[in-house]
Homo-oligomer: A and B are copies of this chain.
Amino acid sequence: MLKNPAPAHGGGAAARPPARSAASTRVRTPAPSPGNGADAIALVQSSSLPTLVQKELERMILAGDLPAGSKLNEAAVADLLGVSRGPVREAFRALEESGLVRLEKNRGVFVRQISVDEADEIYEVRAALDEFVGRRLAQSATPELVRELRAHVERMEKAAGRGDVDAYVTANLEFHDRLVELTGNAKLLVTYRRLVNELNLYRRTTLARSGTLPISTGEHRDIVDRIAAGQVAAAGRALYDHVMASRERMHKTRAGARAAPGRPAARKPR
């Protein structure tokens, strides 16, 4: 039923030209900077309604506005974003291929729920990629690269020190994302991000807000040290082990939070 900010104030939502300011979560045209002529052209050329809907839904899913397992109603989404159902359906197809939603014929689309087994698999794939990342970076490490990474680690430690869970999680994601980005391999980056997106889906599902926060700044420090020292194999192993250790921490946290709030479960499989 799409139980977020309800678009109950439907009324004239269909008449779109005049009431543009009324609807709240519309697909906002991201053209805040004023005098950018050529830039705006490139943006309009690349942005179609389906693409914008896709981006917006992806943002909502990853932000947790749309909890895993919730149903996405075509008409509701279309109404909410001020478009018709066509572009919404196209966005759904893209999101399914990217692994964020699941389509059931004649039943609807649902935000995907990642099982423990699948999260395990993803962690393994991610570990394999990250090992490569570690080796690659250890080969091409420069002083400024190392300096940037150390700054990242420090930020994480600061956040962990003051118990700021959100800041720590964010910094952690950024640190690892930056590592992959620094390899300069764009394909590796998109592959990695796709996996991490699904992993985030899983994290939100289970340990929605388990108080415990698995800190692993020591491992991060070790990773950067190996990279800085140019120890190729060791850097790769450090990252591999770190990811696999994160997997274990996930298991621990999950086992602890098992008796947590009773979620309405999902639909019954048949």
Instruction: Point out residues on A near B: beta carbons under 8 Å.
Output: 45-48, 50, 86, 89-91, 93-94, 96-98, 105-106, 118, 121-122, 124-125, 127-129, 131-132, 185-188, 191, 194-195
Contacts and interface: CB of A to CB of B under 8 A. Distances in A.
A125 B191 contact: yes
A132 B122 contact: no
Task: Work out how many copies of this chain go into the complex.
Answer: 2
18 contacts: A45-B105, A86-B86, A86-B89, A91-B93, A93-B94, A94-B96, A121-B185, A122-B187, A124-B132, A124-B185, A124-B188, A125-B185, A125-B191, A127-B132, A128-B128, A128-B129, A128-B188, A131-B132
Contacts of A191: 125, 191, 194-195
Contacts of A90: 89-90, 93
Contacts of A122: 187
A118 B48 contact: no
Nearest to A188: B125
A18 to B, nearest CB: 26
A34 to B, nearest CB: 23
Interface centre among A48, A124, A191 (most CB of B within 10 A): A191
Interface centre among A48, A185, A194, A195 (most CB of B within 10 A): A185
